[in-house]
Amino acid sequence: MTDPDANFTTAEYEGRIARTRAAMEQRGLDAIFVTDPSNMAWLSGYDGWSFYVHQGVILRQEGEPVWWGRAMDALGAERTVFMTQDGSIRGYDDTFVQNPDKHPMQELTRLLGELGLEKAQIGVELDNYYYTAAAHHSLTKGLARATFHDATGLVNWQRAIKSDGEITYMRRAARIVEGMHARILECAEPGMRKNDLIAEIYAAGIKGADGHWGDYPAIVPMAPSGMDATAPHLTWDDKPMRKGEATFFEIAGAHRRYQCPQSRTLFLGDVPQKYRDAEAAVLDAMDAALEKAKPGNQAQDIANAFNTTLNKAGFEKDSRCGYAIGISYPPDWGERTISFRRGDTTVLQPGMTFHFMPALWLDDGGLEITEPILINDTGHECLCTTPREMWVKA
């Protein structure tokens, strides 16, 4: 098992790289250029808030991965990546940064040529946030004899089954999100400005739990109340919390970039019967769904069990009810691979981790009671012990 107090071992990175190379070989790829910050971190250890400039990791069938980015960030790469050989960290000149007259991909073109890839089969993450249409245009034009293939998700899929070391980090993140929810219950009350509550949530999350520090979540805490909670992704302002309103808290604990999201809902004052009915329906449907969360079942089995039970109670949910989680950077804490929805036939395996996310948006508010789960040898484990219920403060 990976030393729980250090970063991952070189052996762990080598294992990840071997899995990735096998997937590349299956698709006939000589190399991939990976821009998703979570894939960069998973393959190389690189960790820095530099994904607002063009950067990436190049992985060939031989040799160390090559980190490529802005020259000033090469110093951050030296302090975070596992690679040790000369030439495994390459920085480009600052004049390429946000300069309409030239594009950093011109520099990458030169580097890929130097690495012998001018006529190679190269995979790129065509649908990743950090691989723009302009980047692809510049790169394909510059390396006109190479052939480019869509490798969106190729590395993400290799990340699905977590190592023991990764699970250790996720358990720490689970302790942290438990602590964040406990802090909410402790201090939320009518009249409290929402931003003051968010400040408490952030502080609890970053202080960490059980002696383990909190990293930044890949999505900011979301905590809309009342009608604002009919929409899922609004962030906070200073409106005070009020009696008679439900507030959902969609938040994540994070440790060394591993994310453990969990949502709960707090009702202030007397709970209308409609919310009690919704809570009962969701909890029943969650039980039915989690029975399907075991190795050998498919991802859609969880969604189908959830929806069937929920519909019987008279409620409906159109959107997916879960997704894979692990290491992540903004803007998303999901792995963007497996979804709990009809048609996703991915077979569940031990070591996979998910956010089971059966949120309900009602006509006058939202109800989110969710569980981060780990598929184990016989079924699943809920990573958190947060009481599974709608919280009420009178």
Among 21, 136, 183, 242, binds a second copy (CB under 8 A): 136
Residue 301 binds to a second copy (criterion: CB under 8 A): no
| Window of 108-116, 180-188, 227-235, 350-358 that interacts with a second copy by CB under 8 A | 227-235
Beta strands 322-325 and 353-356, pairing class: antiparallel
Residue 147 binds to a second copy (criterion: CB under 8 A): no
Residue 149 binds to a second copy (criterion: CB under 8 A): no
Radius of gyration of the CA atoms of the chain, in A: 22
Three-point CA angle 374, 350, 128, nearest 5°: 70
Q: H or E stretch including 392?
A: strand 391-393
Measured between alpha carbons, how far is residue 116 from residues 28, 123, 135, 297, 315 in Å? Answer: 16, 15, 20, 44, 58
Among 117, 222, 260, 375, binds a second copy (CB under 8 A): 222
Among 11, 187, 227, 347, binds a second copy (CB under 8 A): 227
Among 49, 116, 276, 345, binds a second copy (CB under 8 A): 49
Strand partners, 250: 222, 263
Query: In angstroms, what is the minimal distance from the CB of 369 to a second copy?
Result: 17
Tell me if 307 sits within 8 A of 281, measured CB to CB: no
- Sorted by sequence, the CB contacts under 8 Å of residue 14 that are 6+ apart come out as none
Tell me if 325 sits within 8 A of 373, measured CB to CB: no
Residue 252 binds to a second copy (criterion: CB under 8 A): no
Residue 280 binds to a second copy (criterion: CB under 8 A): no
Residues between 327 and 386 that touch a second copy (CB under 8 A) = 330-332, 334, 336, 339, 341, 361
Q: What is the DSSP letter of 287?
A: H
Residues 77-96: x where in contact with a second copy by CB under 8 A, - otherwise, as a string: -xxx-------------xx-
Query: For residue 382, with 0-12 CB atoms within 10 Å meaning exposed, 13-18 middle and 19 or more buried, which class applies?
Result: middle
| Window of 17-25, 229-237, 349-357, 369-377 that interacts with a second copy by CB under 8 A | 229-237
Residues 179-198: x where in contact with a second copy by CB under 8 A, - otherwise, as a string: --------------x-xx-x
Size of the site for a second copy (CB under 8 A): 82
Counted residue by residue, the chain has a size of: 394
Residue 115 binds to a second copy (criterion: CB under 8 A): no
Residue 130 binds to a second copy (criterion: CB under 8 A): yes
Among 72, 182, 187, 280, binds a second copy (CB under 8 A): 72
